[in-house]
Amino acid sequence: MCYVLNVADKKLVAIKYQNVKVILNMKGVKKQNLPEKICIQCGRPFSWRKKWERCWEEVKYCSEACKKKPS
């Protein structure tokens, strides 16, 4: 069983596992579940970032440096 509690401004996830209630901060949990892509410039994997939430489908480079580099 998993449910989300909103405590003040911090988004916390409370997970009940074998009768033990565990409170996790979304910051610590989210990263592992983020989608990943491979940068077409440097070939390294990079994960989803907040700034790409509207254009993730079109993101091809891991950073501005890779974007500016001529291929």
66 counts as binding Zn ion under rule CB under 5 A = yes
47 counts as binding Zn ion under rule CB under 5 A = no
Q: To the nearest whole angstrom, how small is the minimum distance from the Cβ of residue 61 to Zn ion?
A: 5
Q: To the nearest whole angstrom, how small is the minimum distance from the Cβ of residue 2 to Zn ion?
A: 34
H or E element, residue 21: strand 20-25
**Binding region for Zn ion (CB under 5 A) out of 6-14, 16-24, 37-45, 52-60:** 37-45
Three-state secondary structure call for residue 37: strand
CA distance 22 to 41: 41
